[in-house]
Chain A
Amino acid sequence: MYQTIYHRASTVDEAISLFGKSSEAKFLAGGQTLLPVMKQRLASPSDLIDLGKIKELQGVELSGDVLTIKAGTTYFDIMQSADVKKAIPAIAYLTSVLGDPAVRYRGTIGGSIANNDPAADYPAALLALGATVKTNKRSIAAENFFQGLFTTALEDGEIITAVSFPVPAKAGYEKMRHPASRFALTGVFVAQTKSGEVRVAATGASQSGVMRVPAIEAALKANWSPAAIDSVSISASNLLADIHGTAEYRANLIKVMAQRAVTAAG
């Protein structure tokens, strides 16, 4: 009833071919969400296609002003990467406060963004940095990739191969950790591009998942400083509310985390 056939793909093409042969297959990346959900019997894929051993999905590359992280790279490898620390230290920091050590050894950036949990950390980085999601079929701007809670632009059988980030002039991330799950109760990523554009994204806050925060972007565009955010008003409507944080609290956290992220960005 809950049997699953496990496949270990060696290449992206093989993974796609295996996917096409199954009725209800799922790709398995780090398994940090899918496996617990399967254990709870809330998901029962006929086939699990493990992407973890595909060499072309591993590694980090820095080429000029573009940092590319392959989709199967684990959080641990990302936070250890000299290229990441050099090009966008805010990503190394974000990764270091993501989950706990056990999660960081197994979880992957591709798995995180494909799942698009509304409290995950990476979607904020992708959206604020204006990253591009590369799949076996196409390139998708982060703006278009994230489409609400647990929803992305990915089509059935499409595999994320890499995420490329334009190296910004400045970037910073701060989050309030969810006291139980250690996801972001609210996290804010701020970035100033080399062309002077300011982009701010918040995760864990909105009922529709990761979102840009235009009011803070405008304030920081005028004056890149924590104090510039003091007068910004964030509405609590359409924000998440649960036992760990009211909508008003999350609205406050968007401001406070943004201010601290600006301080961290320098």
Chain B
Amino acid sequence: MGVEGIGARVVRKEDKRFITGKGRYVDDIKLQGMTHAHFIRSPHAHAKVKGIDSSAALKMPGVVAVLTGQQIVDDKVGNLICGWAITSKDGSPMKMGAWPAMAPETVRFVGQAVAVVIAESKNLARDAAEAVVVNYEELPAVADVQAAIKSGAPQLHPEAPGNQVYDWVIGDEGATDAAFAKAANVVKLDVTNNRLAPNAMEPRAAIADYDSAEEHFTLYTTSQNPHVARLVLSAFYNIAPEHKLRVIAPDVGGGFGSKIFIYPEEMVALWASKKVGRPVKWTGDRTEAFLTDAHGRDHVTHAEMAFDANNKITGLKVKTYANFGAYMSLFSSSVPTYLYATLLSGQYNIPAIHAEVVGVYTNTTPVDAYRGAGRPEASYLIERLMETAARQLKVDPAALRRTNFITQFPHQTPVIMAYDTGDFNASLDAAMKAIDYAGFAGRKAKAKADGKLRGIGVSCYIEACGIAPSKAVGSLGAGVGLWESAEVRVNPVGTIEILTGSHSHGQGHETTFCQLVAERLGVPISQVSIVHGDTDKVQFGMGTYGSRSAAVGLTAILKAMEKMESKAKKIAAHALEASEGDIVIENGEFKVAGTDKAIAFPMVALAAYTAHNLPDGMEPGLKESAFYDPTNFTFPAGTYICELEVDSGTGKTSFVNFVAADDFGRLINPMIVEGQVHGGLAQGIGQALLEHAIYDANGQPVTASFMDYAMPRADDLPSFNLSHTTTLCPGNPLGIKGCGEAGAIGASAAVINAITDAIGKNNLEMPATPDRVWRTIHAA
């Protein structure tokens, strides 16, 4: 692998600038003549906007403009779109209400913008915003998904009667009913998957700059996918044609899905910069992030699993209500359908599955993809069901899983997914060994003697990522293709620029992508730079989410590298007077195999650009590009086991051990992979123990700051014990599966299974706060 090649624990190139404060984020950018935006947001969960009086604000110092929702509608800026069409079981398309960038008539969640103040400074804009009088007529609101579907509930959108967006089904209902009719045992479970606020470290921000002479916009924005942002802003929001709109996503401080979407603030900044004729900057604060960044999860589910007399699963029935909030965010419709129900087979051989998902509007912040996006909800449900089944059937939870594991690949599940490869026994074995599963009973008995409640919880997750074959997602309703593009530019001196449509916002692409080049050419990674995040530099890209950058983005780079190497070999062969087929690349040199004849890579590059002595008919230069469309999803899988103790006096959980055995296929940089797993586990454990975005019955957010919303901190988490088992992904040449979301997908079930084991009661919702655990322990 070489010291910097694939598999090496290379220190991250980008960290020097991040840890010395030299990162360049959107808020660090200052343009000549820049103005500042402050949004006026609804304090009501549901209200009519009867009037906006900005006359006093317009007279205040430094105020450039006050712009309203009616103006943005009048200017024909498009409503926000949802990019994945879902069809209900009755054949009708999903029912969407209109979402203008600022509300002209009706607000439907606390924090929805109704107007914006543009001023010379952020504080002057804030001051003036307080002088804008918005006259609201309050309407009844509903925040809870089950309350919203009751008859007589407040209605959000006339387009969606009963607040229902869709009622979607997957699987074979008849076959599933038949399996239940013959079942020896049926296990039932009701589960709530708690709503989460994503909380990237850097809040969202945007700067829009309109050049009237060129009729051209530049947008600096905190995006995970700047090309997708340009496409949507151009094709659907009528901002400008694509060649008149440059989108730059510079250093971005975390996304977790929340920065996939194109939000109203970016649209307003672009529109306003043209209106006021000056650049407009908006940087959100933490409260705005809690109110307006798309939330995650928020499902209420009833599930039943049928078993035969040998404890083999014969069927699974699931009904889920998914809370979408007040509007359909960009990819929201796909999250509780194709990213959730297609994973309901878990790691298990389940002959018949039927799932129904009802999407529901409520007067809350819109919900969309958040780290794992649908797969954590599926994995949590299945792994809680398996644990419940083991308790009900009185068998060891690990043994029950083993009895039902899929062991033959490829495996077609009844819910679309075709698992390509895996070894679920291997990861379960590794995790059980790491935690000394066999010794647990003794440890539990000893803890009991010391007055402690000790529990162990297993979670065997699988996910589908590396999304995805464009043809497949297109047939399921996606509005975009999910390939990736790359370009390899070799400079005349032999340094290399890799242009990628992936976007790094914490993933370490500037290191891992260089490692592929080091692996193939044997050049140091210091001679390679990664260019991303600018639509003027990179031709196109689909961005980074769904653990897709290594499996899809890096494969695109590989394809472009192969083309470049092929041309470079021709040049080398010509220079060395050898046959192209005899040229091998070693340690930065192109050699004639079996001889000492060689030419260094920089000399090949120079030859390409001097063009003094190229093979006949060859174009000068050394630059190649490729698009790569995967042939399947990838299927990372693994086992997490958690051992913990519960303090029966306070209900507080303390970790004893947490082991993870993941199969991510080939690892590019194990150190970065471990960091990804650590972060994912922290978010999964955060969901299990701490995090919950709560609304009161009137739709008022209760957790809009870190004083109330409990983010996991280092001392809330155990020291993780990680390991890997490996089956290479057959779907891409590098054998990569992806590692970005696994921790968040698998961790929460392990924690809840362990707590419920410790306290001897199976029903416990997330987050398992000390209060909730204590009340469960002491409930009659």
Where the two chains meet, the residues of A that have a C-beta atom closer than 8 Å to any C-beta of B are 1-2, 41, 176, 179-181, 185, 243-246, 248-249, 252-253, 256, 259
Contacts and interface: CB of A to CB of B under 8 A. Distances in A.
Contacts of B130: 1, 41
Contact of B769 (A244, A252, A259): A244
Contacts of B692: 243
Given A180-B690, A243-B692, 16 more contacts: A1-B127, A2-B123, A176-B652, A179-B690, A179-B769, A179-B770, A180-B707, A180-B709, A180-B711, A246-B771, A246-B775, A248-B775, A249-B774, A252-B650, A256-B649, A259-B649
A253 B708 contact: no
Nearest to A186: B650
Of the four ranges (under 10, 10 to 19, 20 to 34, 35 or more), the interface on chain B belongs to: 20 to 34
A253 B702 CA distance: 23
Nearest to A256: B649
A259 B127 CA distance: 51
Contacts of B706: 180-181
A252 B774 contact: yes
Given A180-B706, A180-B707, A181-B707, A245 B123 contact: no
26 contacts: A2-B123, A2-B127, A41-B126, A41-B130, A176-B652, A176-B770, A179-B710, A179-B716, A179-B770, A180-B703, A180-B706, A180-B707, A180-B708, A180-B711, A181-B706, A181-B708, A185-B770, A244-B771, A245-B770, A245-B771, A249-B651, A249-B774, A249-B775, A252-B650, A256-B649, A259-B649
B767 to A, nearest CB: 9
B694 interface: yes
A245 B708 CA distance: 12
A246 to B, nearest CB: 6
Interface string B694-717: 100000001100111111000010
A256 B708 CA distance: 24
Contacts, number: 51
B73 to A, nearest CB: 30
A189 to B, nearest CB: 17
A1 B129 CA distance: 12
- Identify whether the interface residues of B are mostly helix, strand, loop, or mixed: loop
Contact of B650 (A41, A180, A243, A256): A256
Given A176-B652, A256-B650, A249 B707 contact: no
A176 B127 CA distance: 40
B694 A243 contact: yes
A77 B710 CA distance: 28
A34 to B, nearest CB: 15
Contacts of A176: 650, 652, 770
A180 B713 CA distance: 9
Interface string B769-780: 111001100000
A245 B711 CA distance: 17
A253 B647 CA distance: 12
A244 B772 CA distance: 9
A176 to B, nearest CB: 6
Nearest to A259: B649
A244 B649 CA distance: 16
A181 B101 CA distance: 34
A256 B652 CA distance: 12
A179 B775 CA distance: 17
A11 to B, nearest CB: 33
Contacts of B650: 176, 252-253, 256
A139 B355 CA distance: 70
A185 B770 CA distance: 11
Contacts of B771: 244-246, 249
A194 to B, nearest CB: 30
A253 B706 CA distance: 23
A180 B769 CA distance: 11
Given A1-B127, A179-B710, A180-B707, A243 B702 contact: yes
A196 B239 CA distance: 78
Nearest to A1: B127
A179 B716 CA distance: 9
B708 A243 contact: yes
Contacts of A185: 770
Contacts of B770: 176, 179, 185, 245, 249
Contacts of B649: 252, 256, 259
User: Nearest 5 pairs between A and B by C-beta?
Assistant: A180-B710, A179-B710, A256-B649, A249-B771, A181-B707
Chain B CB within 10 A, most for which of A41, A176, A179, A256: A179
A67 to B, nearest CB: 29
A185 B708 CA distance: 12
Contacts of A249: 651, 770-771, 774-775
A179 B708 CA distance: 8
B714 to A, nearest CB: 11
Interface string B250-284: 00000000000000000000000000000000000
